Amino acid sequence: MVQSSYRKVKEEVMRMRRLSLKPKLLDVMAGGLVVVLNSAYAHQNDIYTGYRVIVRYKKRQIIAMVDLSNDLAKPGEIGLFYEVHKALGASTHGTVELELTSRPQSIEYIKAKMEGKTLEAGQIRTIINDTMDNRLAEGELAAFMTSCYIRGMNEDEVVGLTESIVATGETLKVGKSPILDKHCIGGVAGNRTTMVMVPIVAAAGCFIPKTSSRAITSAAGTADAMETLCDVSMPIHEMEKQVRSIGGCVVWGGAINLAAADDKLIKIRTPLSLAPKGVLLSSILAKKKSVGAQYCVIDIPVGRGVKLNDMAEARALAKDFISIGKRLGITIEALITNGEDPIGNGIGPALECRDALACLEGNGPRDLRDKSCQLSGTLLELSGKAKKGTGYSIAASLLDNGKALAKFKQIVEWQGGEVKKLNSHSVPIGSYHHRITATRSGRVSHLDNKLLARVARACGAPADKGAGVYLHMEKGDLIKAGDPLMDLYAESEGKLDMALRVFEKMEAVEMEKVVLDSLRE
Asked if the model's pLDDT at residue 272 lies above 80, the reply is no
Residue 142 class from Cβ within 10 Å (0-12 exposed, 13-18 middle, 19+ buried)? Answer: middle
Res 275: pLDDT: 80
Whole-angstrom distance, CA of residue 325 vs CA of residue 310: 23
Q: Are 141 and 274 a contacting pair, CB within 8 Å?
A: no
Residues 320-335 have a mean pLDDT of 97
273 or 132, higher pLDDT: 132
Topology, domain 180-414: Pyrimidine Nucleoside Phosphorylase; Chain A, domain 2 (3.40.1030)
Least confident of 64-68, 256-260, 353-357, 501-505: 256-260
Res 279: pLDDT: 94
Can you tell me whether residue 229 is helix, strand or coil?
coil
Topology, domain 2-100: Barwin-like endoglucanases (2.40.40)
Res 409: pLDDT: 98
153 or 139, higher pLDDT: 153
The segment(s) of the chain belonging to CATH 3.40.1030.10 are 180-414
User: Strand 295-302 and strand 180-184: pairing?
Assistant: parallel
In percent, the amount of the chain with pLDDT more than 90 equals 82
Backbone φ, ψ for residue 217 (5° rounding): -115, -10
The helix (H) or strand (E) run that includes residue 251 is strand 248-252
Question: Cβ of 241: how many Cβ atoms within 10 Å?
Answer: 15
**Second CATH level (architecture) for the domain 432-512:** Alpha-Beta Complex (3.90)
The helix (H) or strand (E) run that includes residue 225 is helix 222-226
Which CA distances in Å does 17 have to 12, 97, 101, 321? 9, 10, 12, 52
Residue 432 is given by DSSP the state: E
Can you tell me whether residue 253 is helix, strand or coil?
helix
How would DSSP label each residue in 117-156?
A: PPPPHHHHHHHHHHHHTT-S-HHHHHHHHHHHHHH---HH
Residue 180 class from Cβ within 10 Å (0-12 exposed, 13-18 middle, 19+ buried)? Answer: buried
Which CA distances in Å does 160 have to 82, 100, 122, 137? 33, 31, 8, 22
Res 479: pLDDT: 93
Can you tell me whether residue 266 is helix, strand or coil?
helix
The helix (H) or strand (E) run that includes residue 7 is helix 2-16
Whole-angstrom distance, CA of residue 302 vs CA of residue 336: 7
Q: What is the pLDDT of residues 299-312, one digit of tens each?
A: 999 998 888 989 99
Whole-angstrom distance, CA of residue 399 vs CA of residue 369: 9
The segment(s) of the chain belonging to CATH 3.90.1170.30 are 432-512
Beta bridge partners of 21: 96
Residues 388-401 have a mean pLDDT of 97
Res 521: pLDDT: 44
How would DSSP label each residue in 172-185?
A: -----S-BEEEEE-
Whole-angstrom distance, CA of residue 157 vs CA of residue 163: 10
Q: What is the mean pLDDT of the chain?
A: 92
